[in-house]
Structure 1
Amino acid sequence: MGRLNGKVALITGAAGGQGAVEAELFAREGAKVVVADINEEGVAAVVDRIDQFGGEALGIVLNVTDDEAWAAAMEQIRASFGGLDIQVNNAGILSLEGIAKIERAEWDRVINVNQTSVMLGLKHGAALMREGGTGGSIINLSSTYAHVGSGAAVAYQASKAAVFIMTKTAAVEFAPDGIRVNSVAPGIIETPMTREVLAAAGPSHPDITRTPLQRAGQPHEVANAVLFLASDEASYITGAELLVDGGRTIT
Structure 2
Amino acid sequence: MSDQPIALVTGGAQGIGLAAAQALKADGHRIVLADINADKVRSSADEMGGGTVGLPCDMSGPAQIAALFDTIEEQMGAVSVLVNNAGVAMPGDFLDYSLEDFNKVISINLTGVFLATQRAAKAMIDAGIEGAIVNTSSINAQLAIPAIPAYCASKGGVQQLTKVAALALAKHNIRVNAVGPGSIDTAMMAGVNANPAALETALSRTPLRRVGEAREVGDVIAFLASKKASYITGETIYIDGGRLGLNYTC
TM-score range, shorter chain: over 0.9
**Is 1:27 matched with 2:25?**
yes
Distance 2:199 2:78 in 1: 47
**Is 1:74 matched with 2:72?**
no
Cα 1:213–1:243 change in 2 (3 A) is same
CA contact (8 A) 2:80 2:132 kept: yes
Pairwise mapping of residues 195-214 of structure 1 onto structure 2 (< 5 A)? 195-201=190-196, 204-214=199-209
Distance 2:197 2:222 in 1: 30
Alignment partner of 1:193: what SS?
A: helix
Give 1:202 shift.
5.0
**Is 1:147 matched with 2:142?**
yes
**Is 1:194 matched with 2:189?**
yes
Determine which of 28, 44, 47 is the counterpart of 1:46: 44
Paired residue total: 244
Determine which of 32, 57, 60 is the counterpart of 2:55: 60
RMSD between aligned alpha carbons?
1.5
Structure 1 counterpart of 2:211: 216
Cα 1:224–1:202 change in 2 (3 A) is farther
Give 1:198 shift.
2.1
Residues 183-219 of structure 1, C-alpha deviations (whole Å, 9 max, x = no match): 0000010101211222114574433211111111000
Unmatched runs of 5 consecutive residues or more in structure 2: none
Determine which of 176, 179, 191 is the counterpart of 2:174: 179
Alignment partner of 2:210: what SS?
A: coil
Give 1:67 shift.
1.5
Distance 2:218 2:75 in 1: 25
Distance 1:37 1:204 in 2: 28
Give 1:237 shift.
0.5
Structure 2 counterpart of 1:86: 81
Distance 1:122 1:168 in 2: 12
Give 1:96 shift.
2.5
Give 1:176 shift.
1.1
Cα 1:201–1:153 change in 2 (3 A) is farther
Moved more, 89-98 or 182-191: 89-98
Distance 1:246 1:19 in 2: 19
CA contact (8 A) 2:8 2:81 kept: yes
Give 1:134 shift.
2.5
What is the TM-score normalised by the length of structure 1?
A: 0.93
Cα 1:106–1:227 change in 2 (3 A) is same
Give 1:104 shift.
1.5
Distance 1:244 1:19 in 2: 15
Give 1:123 shift.
1.2
Cα 1:112–1:129 change in 2 (3 A) is same
Distance 2:33 2:180 in 1: 21
Distance 2:197 2:161 in 1: 34
Moved more, 39-48 or 204-213: 204-213
CA contact (8 A) 1:87 1:138 kept: yes
What is the TM-score normalised by the length of structure 2?
A: 0.93
Give the AA of the match of 1:25: A
CA contact (8 A) 1:31 1:56 kept: no
Runs of 4 or more off by more than 6 Å in structure 1? none
Alignment partner of 1:194: what SS?
A: helix
Distance 1:153 1:74 in 2: 30
CA contact (8 A) 2:19 2:217 kept: no
Structure 2 counterpart of 1:114: 109
